Chains A and B, each alone.
Chain A
């Protein structure tokens, strides 16, 4: 994992420059804001994270519980439909978000439980989830990363944490567009993906690129070995090298 004194544990690379592949990346990023779903039971913390995100040019939806987050996403009512892959209601009725940032310790449903529910869902597991916690507990961090969290941020959350997250997800959105060979923004890509899965059989998935944030690509055999390695790292290495 690294040093014990690290403030936040993250699986994303330190340097962002290498991800700026598309010549139109700046104008595309400006056109499409990153939409973040923030989950925290503390009103004070919600206000702060909301402000941090807004000032970083992100669109924010802030809720006070995991249940409310799942409901907004459209995950709660569709639990059974998620299990079969031909659901047509997922994504259409729920909120479309690029990133979920959640507090760990919440009454009812913890951030960890929320993370699990999202990663267990076939339609939502692609959405990157970041966990925040006031406590820097190694076992907790490991558990979250193993379950698929992108990053674990120790509170209090700073502006630099948020701008770093935003930059990373804006950049990787460009990567995904580049990977597919079509220079469209993520939302259009998601819509076309949803339409193709909704209306036709599983075999007609040729238009959809392998999602970066989902289960490991076939070319990364070692990605499951260590909890600190992320599948997307090897996919990106594949592009960059």
Chain B
């Protein structure tokens, strides 16, 4: 089997894994279809923006939850932002944690919020690593003379 076929097989398997485990959903596939010659780095760009945003929001939420008196409305608005952007890029697991997180905010449940924040942080790190792996595989395919396939 030549290198290109090998790489294609790897990326197909990895993509299937990401979907199966719920790391990404159909919206991510949608974004991948928006790539073309004029904008080949579109997905990488949007994903990078997302993780920058994510990091900022996680830090803000952590600070807010450390306060003596927690401003749950403030935390909720951060969660709302993260929920929105994670949905827009198809980051399904993060999106799901945000749904639970919102409920904790509404219930003014500080411990629940802290747990959710930890989960969000964990999921962000996992997704970042996974997508970096995916993008590396794509780079290898391009380097081997192939074109980037869309996810199934």
Hey, which bits of chain A sit against chain B, CB under 8 A? 42-45, 47-48, 51-52, 54-55, 105, 134, 155-159
Contact = CB atoms under 8 A, between A and B. Distances in A.
A55 B31 CA distance: 11
B15 interface: no
Contacts of B49: 43-44, 47
Which 4 pairs from chain A and chain B are nearest by CB? Answer: A44-B85, A156-B27, A134-B84, A156-B88
Contacts of B83: 134
Interface stretch (B32-40, B114-122, B123-131, B141-149): B32-40
B87 A155 contact: yes
A128 B102 CA distance: 33
Nearest to B87: A156
Classify chain B's interface size.
20 to 34
Nearest to A154: B87
Contacts, number: 51
Contacts of B30: 156, 158-159
Interface of B: 27, 30-31, 33-34, 36, 39, 42, 45-46, 49-50, 53, 80-81, 83-85, 87-90
Nearest to B89: A44
30 contacts: A42-B81, A42-B84, A42-B88, A43-B49, A43-B53, A44-B49, A44-B53, A44-B89, A45-B84, A45-B85, A47-B45, A47-B46, A47-B49, A48-B31, A48-B88, A48-B89, A51-B46, A55-B34, A55-B36, A134-B87, A155-B84, A155-B87, A155-B88, A156-B27, A156-B30, A156-B87, A157-B88, A158-B30, A159-B33, A159-B34
A156 B31 CA distance: 11
